[in-house]
Amino acid sequence: MSAETGIRIAHLTDSHIAPDDSLVRDIDTRQNFEAVLESIADEHPDIIVLGGDLAAVDGDLEAYRWIESRLADIEIPYLIIAGNHDNTDNLKSVFKISSEDNEELFFAIKIGNYQLIGLDSSKGRISNIQLDWLRETMSSGSVPSLLFMHHPPLYCGCEFMDSKYPLENREEVFAVIQNIPTISHIFCGHYHTEKIIFLNNKSVFITPSTMHQIGQAGLKYKEVSRLSGWRKIEWNKTGLKSSVTILNP
């Protein structure tokens, strides 16, 4: 698909890569990540967006270096946003990332007739610096844009994650997004599940983890699947299509 007529995006998130080949909750997250990358490579997307929580141990450099080496092998361009288990300085160093800010990792990237926006919720919230930048960046623009952020900007009906680990300033963030007509679709991770929420003409897509999945019902943590997943996004002038690929062992 030509970037002028459309764009194909692979969204993967919450890989929680452990240091030194160790397991996370008795799960081989490196093996899962490699299987997801192989599945993505078979689809030949234009770009991959890694949606945060790349490392299991917060900001682990060795995990980041391992991920970078695997991405180099498949030779598909990629973008990275930060989750609450990430360290933005380490991400910038390993992946040679430039950002709009020295301390946070956020960006607006134009690809043909489209724009991809990434926000940094590694501190559990979206800072005022980012919100001001988002308002200014989008105030005079007419370029259709997709927004990527690790934490969903609203409650999602996932009781455990909504109660324990939601975005702290979600109402403020969603209010800003609501006032940006060129952003209709938001892609997130963090919740380790697959779901789509529609609110006030905005759609929020939650992409499943490459590690494992968490139940949506109940106030207690419950692992419901050890299958890995990723999201395919096809976006062109006629609209957006999205589907999730779940890998069977």
Q: Is 37 exposed, middle or buried (0-12, 13-18, 19+ CB in 10 A)?
A: buried
Per the CB < 8 A criterion, the answer to whether 9 and 49 are in contact is: yes
Q: Is 73 exposed, middle or buried (0-12, 13-18, 19+ CB in 10 A)?
A: exposed
Residue indicated by tokens 């991959």: 48
CATH number belonging to domain 6-247: 3.60.21.10
- Calpha distance 152→162 (Å, rounded): 10
Q: What is the pLDDT of residue 21?
A: 80
Write out the chain's pLDDT in tens, 249 residues: 555 679 999 999 999 999 888 899 999 999 999 999 999 999 999 999 999 999 999 999 999 999 999 999 999 999 999 999 999 999 999 999 987 777 899 999 999 889 999 999 999 999 999 999 999 999 877 789 999 999 999 999 999 999 999 999 999 999 999 999 999 999 999 999 999 999 999 999 999 999 999 999 999 999 999 999 999 999 998 999 999 999 986
pTM for the model stands at: 0.96
With residues binned 3-state (H G I as helix, E B as strand, rest as coil), the percentages for the chain, rounded to 5, are: 25, 30, 45
* Dihedral sign of CA atoms 238, 5, 147, 46 in order: positive
- Calpha distance 233→247 (Å, rounded): 17
